[in-house]
Amino acid sequence: MHRVMLVDDEEIILQGLMKVFPWKEYDCQVVGTATDGLEGLRLIRATRPHIVLTDIRMPNMDGLQMVAAVQSEFPHIQVAVLTAFRDFDYAQQAIRLGVCRYLLKPSRMDDLKEAFAHMTQALQGAPMEVQEELDSGGQSEAGNFVARAALQFIRQHYTEHISLGDVADSVYVSQWHLSKLINNHLGQSFFDILNGFRIEKAKKLLADPALKVHEIAEAVGYGDVAHFSKNFKKLTGISPMEYRGSWKG
């Protein structure tokens, strides 16, 4: 029996699907429903469904983020989208993330049946219990999507005292999983990326003689000047003061 998760912010859609769709004909059983992406992601991790049918525009979490998180962690889960959002670029992105069907509301029953026939057939011969640790997940477009979203968060918040956990929370995956995705898709560790942004900004600030080194260290997110100086020299080969001196010629 294939476990199915339904995610839609319209309760009437969820109830209608549960009552009207012939689940038994496709050897399927609905094991949970959610009305937003965050709750959907939590239940997916808890119940490990084989199939997810989800809306794409929901409160609390962008639908593409949920799909990316699911597909990067559980690449064998079959995901279909059922949405009223008619945007071709959005649909293309969803398909690149691994969505097998992009259905528009109101959808015909025949379209839903074809989608479930396709997904259940795809599951034949695949492991019924999906493990979180799957190498193929880290190589997927979904994994790249999550890594790029993490990079964007770091770029926006590098001057703050952020941790890998903060970044993982922003993209809705575990710290361990995000660390793997960042290394696989960006070719650097979280700390290398974070320090890279901070030191590049520091180099620009050092051009201003009115700013003290400890002020610059604090401005780019370091808790103390010694840590800042150590990382600065590691990346540039010289100390902050030596770098500043080079500006004077």
Query: Who's near 148: CB < 8 A, 6+ residues apart?
Result: 185
Q: Domains in the chain, start-ordered, CATH in brackets? A: 2-132 (3.40.50.2300), 141-247 (1.10.10.60)
Q: Extract the tokens encoding 159.
A: 């001057």
Instruction: Yes or no: say if 72 and 176 are a contact pair by the CB < 8 Å rule.
Output: no
Q: Give the chain's largest Cα–Cα span.
A: 78
Helix (H) or strand (E) holding 28: strand 28-34
pLDDT value of position 139: 40
> Residue 228 and residue 216: Cα distance in Å, rounded?
9
Give Cα separations from 232 to 153, 163, 224 (angstroms).
22, 19, 12
pLDDT value of position 248: 60
Burial 105-135 (b: 16+ CB within 10 A, else e): eeeeeeebeebbeebbeebeeeeeebeeebe
What integer best gives the mean pLDDT of the chain? Answer: 88
Under DSSP, is residue 1 helix (H, G, I), strand (E, B) or coil? coil
Write out pLDDT tens, residues 78-96.
999 998 877 777 788 888 8
Write out pLDDT tens, residues 218-239.
999 999 999 999 999 999 999 9
Instruction: Yes or no: say if 198 and 220 are a contact pair by the CB < 8 Å rule.
Output: yes
Average pLDDT per run of 10 along the chain, which is 249 residues long?
94 93 95 93 94 89 85 91 81 84 88 93 65 44 88 95 93 90 93 96 94 95 94 94 78
pLDDT value of position 61: 81
pLDDT value of position 105: 87
125 Ramachandran zone, left/alpha/beta (phi>0; psi -120 to 50): left
Which of 217, 169, 173 is closest to 195 using CA atoms? 217
